[in-house]
């Protein structure tokens, strides 16, 4: 069943009920609020705003866009890109593209003009819907993307090279277009996070999208009474595929613009949020704010908050132990996935397995896993190998890249590039990215293990471990350490702390600096390698 039918069902059954709400608690920090429909709350000096939408309006907006695209000659299989910040329009636009039979192509809002052009060219996109934040970037390339015949601008003060999305869709029918869709039809192209170079275009079918709905619904048991807080960017599979559980259950969700701990806790309290998906840095910030007493839990009504789950990167067990100290009644889940496997859930810990924190978990709903050697054979239990997954949410291919597709998909299995091991109970532990493994004097060093160890240090906010070239042993482990505010720590302090590690695992170089992360929370290790690895010898920078 195509996912668009779930939206139509919700509009019919729950049409007058609110399904989405958008909240920004500080317009003064937002430079992109130009939608005509925003209504500022009166007498609020912070300029906060809230907007909401019912299931019926959601479905009608999607239908209007679908009819506009069809009127403009966009046919089944054509690609239509979305370049928007998280906003109330994002999901209706996504579903409108699907209802037209076209392929949705969400773009990372942090892309440079060069990266936008690269992704539009690679995906063979012919239409683009963009918001006011991206006018400057598109002005530099709009005449260099000849495949993109149509540009729709969603906002006020329309640039001359684009058409007005609001006005055009308002004049289109709100009835569903007569486009037949099947599970096998292509539905969306997502781009890999780009942590290893230019992103790849990942093609998924409607079956993939529906499998994400069922996986999320099965893992986290959404009901009509739930309210999901969505903070991460909707262009990525992570946030949207977790929201798919809300879609399937017909329950509410809130899009929060901003990640300050007090904003998150206030929204959970005021909106009666029951499920929150966080990235590691945001969970860390909440705990640190509580420790510093910048926020006080007694100021918020959090009793209804039943589930906190984390994904997109390895989760330090120490973080979850701290979380349970402050939130002992929360269910917790770790979600592992890739855009190639339609986002989170091909492996998950399971809320019933909190005693296994540290593992990424067991095969997700309708998924199979194996850990293999370089020949694709399953390794003995406990040994490290490459994690491979198989299930209904597997990508169709890397679009226009048959070589990369052949390297990643072998038979029905996706080889993830992640190194992992399985314990005697069948729980999988992520060891590291295959490409991030450091080989020092013939020994394999897995950076994630060192990162998890260092995060237990009371002064460390974040850490990344990379390999630097060394003439004698090939590579050495270097730890880039970001300290907590107002904390001091020396290189000798870190070396003393690491003395309990095996000698070959101890970082040989300590660098105090910020740890860069992309919008999905992944450490941008190529940036660190480029910054520190070219000469092999770097000056220690002290962060104060």
Report yes or no on 218 lying in a domain: no
Distances (CA, A) of 427 to 207, 364, 423, 509, 519: 27, 12, 6, 33, 28
Looking at the structure of the chain, the number of domains it has is 3
Q: How many C-beta atoms surround the C-beta of residue 305 within 10 A? A: 22
Q: Which residues of the chain have pLDDT under 70?
A: 26-48, 193-197, 312-314, 432-434, 441-443, 471-474, 519-521, 534-544
Report yes or no on 111 lying in a domain: yes
Those residues with Cβ within 8 angstroms of residue 10's Cβ, 6 or more apart along the chain or in another chain: 19, 55, 58, 59, 247, 250
Answer yes or no: do 253 and 346 share one domain.
no
Answer yes or no: do 391 and 413 share one domain.
yes
pLDDT at 344: 87
Report yes or no on 399 lying in a domain: yes
Answer yes or no: do 132 and 187 share one domain.
yes
Report yes or no on 321 lying in a domain: yes
What pTM did the predictor assign?
Answer: 0.82
Report yes or no on 211 lying in a domain: no
Report yes or no on 254 lying in a domain: yes
CB of 285 within 8 A of CB of 298?
no
- What are residue 365's phi and psi, to 5 degrees? -60, 120
Give the end of a domain, one of 195, 226, 258: 258
Domain range for residue 404? Answer: 307-433
Q: How many C-beta atoms surround the C-beta of residue 296 within 10 A? A: 11
Give the end of a domain, one of 403, 433, 463: 433
Residue 11 belongs to what H/E stretch?
helix 4-14
pLDDT at 248: 96
Report yes or no on 284 lying in a domain: no
Answer yes or no: do 427 and 521 share one domain.
no
Answer yes or no: do 88 and 133 share one domain.
yes
Answer yes or no: do 16 and 107 share one domain.
yes
The CATH code of the domain that includes 57 is: 3.40.50.12780
Q: How far is CA 483 from the centre of its chain?
A: 25
Distances (CA, A) of 21 to 236, 261, 355: 19, 19, 35
Answer yes or no: do 443 and 463 share one domain.
yes
3-state secondary structure (DSSP) of residue 532: helix
Residue 397 belongs to what H/E stretch?
strand 397-398
pLDDT at 517: 82
Answer yes or no: do 402 and 508 share one domain.
no
Condensed to tens digits (0 to 9), the pLDDT of residues 141-153 reads 999 999 999 999 9
The CATH code of the domain that includes 453 is: 3.30.300.30
Give me the numbers of helices (H) and strands (E) for the chain, helices first please: 15, 27
pLDDT at 340: 94
The CATH code of the domain that includes 414 is: 2.30.38.10
Question: Which pair of tokens denotes residue 334?
Answer: 């770790």
Answer yes or no: do 424 and 447 share one domain.
no
Answer yes or no: do 153 and 29 share one domain.
yes
DSSP H helices, 33-164, are 55-71, 90-99, 113-123, 135-139
Answer yes or no: do 406 and 457 share one domain.
no
Percent of the chain with pLDDT over 70: 90
Report yes or no on 139 lying in a domain: yes
Answer yes or no: do 160 and 34 share one domain.
yes
Give the end of a domain, one of 433, 457, 492: 433
């Amino acid at each position: 069943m195509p996912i668009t039918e779930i939206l139509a069902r919700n509009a019919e059954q729950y049409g007058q009920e609110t399904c989405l709400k958008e909240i920004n608690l500080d317009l003064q920090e937002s430079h992109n609020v130009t939608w005509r429909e925003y209504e500022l709350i009166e007498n609020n000096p912070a300029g906060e705003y809230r907007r909401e939408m019912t299931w019926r309006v959601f479905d009608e907006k999607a239908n209007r866009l679908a009819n506009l695209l069809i009127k403009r000659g966009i046919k089944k299989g054509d690609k239509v890109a979305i370049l928007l910040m998280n906003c109330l329009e994002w999901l209706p636009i996504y579903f409108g593209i699907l209802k037209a039979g076209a392929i949705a192509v969400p773009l990372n809002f942090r892309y440079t003009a060069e990266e936008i052009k690269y992704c539009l060219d690679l995906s063979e996109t012919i239409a683009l819907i963009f918001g006011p934040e991206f006018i400057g970037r598109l002005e530099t390339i709009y005449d260099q993307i000849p495949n993109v015949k149509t540009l729709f601008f969603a906002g006020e003060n329309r640039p001359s090279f684009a058409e007005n999305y609001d006005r055009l869709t308002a004049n289109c029918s709100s009835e569903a277009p007569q486009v037949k869709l099947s599970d096998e039809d292509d539905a969306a192209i997502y781009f890999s996070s780009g942590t290893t170079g230019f992103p790849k275009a990942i093609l998924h079918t409607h079956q993939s999208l529906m499998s994400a709905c069922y996986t999320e619904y099965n893992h986290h048991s959404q009901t009509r009474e739930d309210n999901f807080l969505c903070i991460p960017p909707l262009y990525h599979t992570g946030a949207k595929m977790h929201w798919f559980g809300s879609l399937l259950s017909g329950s509410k969700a809130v899009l929060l613009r901003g990640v300050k701990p007090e904003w998150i806790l206030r929204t959970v309290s005021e909106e009666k949020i029951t499920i929150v998906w966080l990235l590691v840095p945001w969970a860390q910030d909440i705990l640190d704010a509580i420790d510093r007493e910048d926020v006080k839990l007694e100021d918020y009504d959090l009793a209804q908050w039943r589930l906190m789950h984390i994904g997109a990167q390895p989760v330090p067990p120490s973080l979850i132990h701290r979380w349970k100290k402050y939130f002992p009644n929360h269910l917790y889940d770790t979600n592992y996935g890739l855009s190639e496997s339609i986002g989170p859930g091909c492996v998950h810990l399971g809320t019933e397995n909190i005693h296994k924190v540290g593992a990424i978990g067991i095969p997700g709903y309708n998924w199979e896993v194996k850990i293999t050697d370089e020949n694709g054979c399953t390794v003995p239990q406990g040994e490290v190998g490459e994690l491979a997954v198989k299930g209904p949410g597997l990508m169709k291919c890397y679009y226009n890249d048959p070589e990369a597709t052949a390297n990643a998909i072998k038979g029905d299995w996706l080889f993830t590039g992640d190194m992992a091991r399985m314990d005697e109970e069948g729980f999988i532990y992520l060891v590291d990215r295959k490409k991030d493994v450091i080989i020092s004097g013939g020994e394999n060093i897995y950076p994630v293990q060192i990162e998890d160890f260092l995060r237990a240090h009371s002064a460390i906010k974040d850490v990344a471990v990379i390999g630097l070239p060394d003439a004698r042993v090939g590579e050495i482990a270097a730890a880039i350490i970001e300290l907590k505010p107002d904390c001091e720590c020396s290189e000798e302090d870190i070396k003393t702390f690491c003395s309990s590690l095996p000698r070959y695992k101890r970082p040989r170089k300590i660098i105090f600096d910020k740890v860069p992360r992309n919008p999905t929370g992944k450490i941008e290790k190529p940036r660190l390698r480029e910054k520190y690895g070219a000469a092999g010898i770097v000056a220690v920078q002290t962060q104060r």
